A = this chain, B = another copy of it.
Amino acid sequence: MRLSLVPDNNRLIRKLESIFTLADDERQVLENLPMQVMGIKADQDIVRQGDRPSRSCLILSGFACTYKVTAGGKRQIVSFNLPGDVPDLQSLHLQVLDTSIGTISPCRVGFIPHEVLRDICERYPRLAAAFWRETLIDAAIFREWVMNVGQREGYQRIAHVLCELLVRLRAVGLAEDHACDLPITQGEFADAIGLTTVHVNRMLQQLRANGLIELKGDRLKVLDWDKLKAAGEFDPAYLHLERQEAAA
């Protein structure tokens, strides 16, 4: 555990800049975000449901996920957290966490005190809006996931999640056009799309057999993007990645 005043949080900056141009002072604030940086092993909780955190965590590298656990002990992953994400930004205004956040692969995580964030929001209204916006995009993703598990069949569900992951990774510079590292296990996919690991396995094989993807070890290659998109009924609009245009 070490303190750092020059953390490499360029994924977050990159995400925000894809939305609007940062002024020099705004960019500087982000580049010098005071945070406590920590390395965390795979499969560890970063924060837990019920916690009342006084800081938010920024994923600097690695894969994490937000999840809830059923009374019966079943786990639902409600979101994959990628570098540049601040998966518990909500705790700035909601005191008690209603989800846990855990690592999937080894991660580097930066913890930013809420006071710091509040201070920034006060002084840089555009950054406040940008943070708010980030939480709204999270919400949009949750909505799409409700639809995914509620209305689509297994085959479509996986196709959809794979599409989402590839596009989001691309947005933070962690994917080539049609390939990316993806250290997500079939069991984790299962918990994310509400199927069993057995069934996930079978659906993945079908995707492979149909020539849509190649998925081996931690590596995903999309062989036929159009077909994969079609299979998952994937329309990236809900990710709100497009630049803010002047309103009509």
Contacts and interface: CB of A to CB of B under 8 A. Distances in A.
A144 to B, nearest CB: 7
A202 interface: no
B133 A94 contact: yes
A75 B94 CA distance: 30
A35 B143 CA distance: 27
Contact of A68 (B143, B149, B194): B143
A129 interface: yes
Given A93-B136, A135-B136, A70 B147 contact: yes
A209 interface: no
B94 A137 contact: yes
A126 to B, nearest CB: 11
A232 to B, nearest CB: 10
Contacts of A93: 129, 132-133, 136
A76 interface: yes
Interface of A: 50, 52, 54, 66, 68, 70-72, 74-76, 78-79, 90, 93-96, 98-99, 122, 125, 128-129, 132-133, 135-140, 142-147, 149-152, 193-194, 233, 237-238, 240, 242, 244-245, 247-248
